[in-house]
A and B are shown apart, each in its own frame.
Chain A
């Protein structure tokens, strides 16, 4: 093993490659003692194939591969991991599920195990074991893991990342605030002042899968509105939704000159990096992009993260993008697969991987809150709590094909954009969103 590790990979992966021996001693992560792992007799001659989304940062892949190699060392089970582009993983999961052939394990995104629940092996035993040993599952981790309304685990969340408020300290302070207000009227007031000062806010209202939906969801959830109720019936037509639409009607004119209705996922990053926008919402990638480019390092130093204003929500109103592992029934080696998934979630493997990701992914079980990464840069500490959110795409209903479709077809984003642009009245926009949601959630 040692002779194929290049100097570069050692530097890149940091302590992670050496983790086998050392991390245990250095780690502050506390695991419960006396929790016994489920017995999973590994099938003889087992080999595994796994798909997962491509990395954010190079050490992610290096540590992940090293962890799988260590599993091979300990169990003799060969593991092949393929890294797939983010746009392709849903299609490849669909093909795998429909044909009953292909990888044993796929780490997909949040809703995938719920869409293919019938094709999956339940992971209750290892999920409960990991939960007991590592301080319990965090709120949205449990939601994405369990089949709706049951205690049966069909997915094993590996990590997630939520979208906070990203703001320029200098601009917010100049407007007379230490930090952005956490209440809705106060936040509106701050945005008005920022616009007057020529340092406006900007949130995507275009057909942007990540940022557009993130902003629309925040508007909904901070006003207590939701697209579906607990049972999955459409509930978008409500006084709360109307209130959020009226709120946006006042908020939108404070946005950057030129508007944000045509913004894609990349637009707010560009505008923020170009000193056009001073308050926005984005994942942690924006901060790292600014920090790693000498030309924008000053902006990174002036950048702070905080939770989006809560409004009436009792937790950060952002649905984390979640990695969710699933094991297919067609796998000939279900025990080996489960053993691998549990192995990857154990502290000697998971913590170095979490650290290697620099904060791009946050843990789904409580014990890893003490991982070194969360104190490595005070500006990313906030992301530690990503999975404690009680919100997911399609909230409050079950996670289904329909909740994914509503997201992909921008039902809520377009409802808000129609009001922001003056194209519709709040009432008309809400009725149109309800019409579309009824169609999407009809089954």
Chain B
């Protein structure tokens, strides 16, 4: 009987129609399951990105579809001092703000990692600047930096320390530093809370062992905290650099790229040319010019900070 049954079973298996066989075929199933995700990514990510890159090679304006002009937009950009100024300020803004945010953020995280009274409450408060919508931050700073109504100027004048208003955003360099200040204020909580999470994953036994060996505080930081924190530092720094480099709202709301374009970031300049000025092609070209910087920043964070073998589960050399 069993022979017969086996025979029948084999025969039925051969009878399976093509749909069933297709669904049993693993590569097909993989494709089917991935399709929705790939579709969404294509429509909402690849297409807009591709369209943006395509626009950079055309002379499209708002109100008129353009024609292919090759590298013309980029050639103009290369000789446009306003573009180079935006490149300079974007890099400067990102560089200085990131260093400041990480310095102060790490310090804050180390402080918060100690046993303090009202620890949870303090940690929640630290997050406030990050929670406030950026536009509100920007408006607040716009008032703080206002050339006539700045509260800081007012305090200094009332105390008799100055007779004139402080120049925050009326000339190029003060405006640049003021914007960096606003960005740092807003960015510290993200860094501090992320690094605090990283600090708490470090096993206390490492510190205990180090204490028994008679280590100093600096040595514990240098040889335990810092290396253990590096992986999360790399991730947080990558995010932070991307957020800062592509910042738009703070600059647009506080200075609108002024005085005389000295605080244009690539993002605000792209908007200014593309949307306000209506030159979608030129605006897209400026936006595309941001890509190499972002790719470089990402690769730098990964290769410079996160290439230790133990991070991939192997032992350190």
**Interface positions of A (Cβ within 8 A of B):** 90-91, 93-94, 97-98, 115-116, 206-207, 256-264, 267, 270-271, 274, 276-277, 401, 404-405, 408-409, 414, 417-418, 421, 423, 432, 436, 439-440
Contact = CB atoms under 8 A, between A and B. Distances in A.
B148 A405 contact: no
A23 to B, nearest CB: 39
Nearest to B82: A436
B288 interface: no
Contact of B260 (A401, A404, A417): A417
Interface in B144-178: 145-150, 153, 164-165, 167, 169-172, 175
Interface stretch (B104-112, B124-132, B270-278): B270-278
A268 B145 CA distance: 15
A274 B277 contact: no
Contacts of A409: 272-273, 276-277
B62 interface: yes
Given A98-B65, A405-B277, A417-B260, A261 B171 contact: yes
A262 B276 contact: no
B61 A417 contact: no
B257 A90 contact: no
B256 A206 contact: yes
B255 interface: yes
B194 interface: no
How many B residues are at the interface, by size bracket?
Answer: 35 or more
B262 to A, nearest CB: 8
18 contacts: A90-B62, A93-B63, A98-B64, A116-B63, A258-B165, A262-B169, A262-B170, A264-B256, A271-B148, A274-B148, A401-B63, A405-B277, A408-B272, A408-B277, A421-B170, A423-B259, A436-B82, A440-B277
Contacts of B171: 259, 261, 421, 423
B63 A421 contact: no
A421 B260 contact: yes
Nearest to A418: B260
B148 A408 contact: no
Contacts of A277: 148
Contacts of B183: none
A408 B276 contact: yes
A90 B277 CA distance: 12
A417 B167 contact: no
A206 B165 CA distance: 18
B167 A405 contact: no
A258 B276 CA distance: 28
A276 B153 CA distance: 14
B170 A270 contact: no
Contacts of B172: 421, 423
Contacts of A401: 61, 63-64, 278
B278 A207 contact: no
B261 interface: yes
Contact of A258 (B63, B148, B279): B148
B231 interface: no
A405 B278 contact: yes
Nearest to B143: A270
B169 A270 contact: no
Nearest to B62: A94
Contacts of A276: 148-149
Interface string B233-276: 00000000000000000000001111111100000000011001
B276 to A, nearest CB: 4
Interface in B36-67: 61-65
A116 B167 CA distance: 44
A263 B142 CA distance: 11
Given A257-B165, A271-B148, A262 B273 contact: no
Nearest to A276: B148
Nearest to B253: A264
A262 B147 contact: yes
Nearest to B175: A262
A207 B258 contact: yes
Contacts of A267: 146-148
A431 B4 CA distance: 97
Q: List the 5 closest A-B pairs by CB distance, nearest first.
A: A258-B147, A258-B165, A259-B170, A207-B256, A94-B63
Contacts of A259: 147, 167, 170-171
A405 B172 CA distance: 24
A330 to B, nearest CB: 15
A261 B272 CA distance: 18
Nearest to B147: A258
Contacts of B277: 405, 408-409, 440
Contacts of A271: 148
A258 B164 CA distance: 7
Nearest to A404: B278
B76 interface: yes
A270 B272 CA distance: 25
Contacts of B273: 409
A277 B273 CA distance: 32
A100 B48 CA distance: 24
A333 B133 CA distance: 47
* Residue from the set B63, B171, B260, B262 with the largest chain A CB neighbour count within 10 Å: B260
A357 B175 CA distance: 40
B148 A261 contact: no
Contacts of A116: 63
Contacts of B65: 98
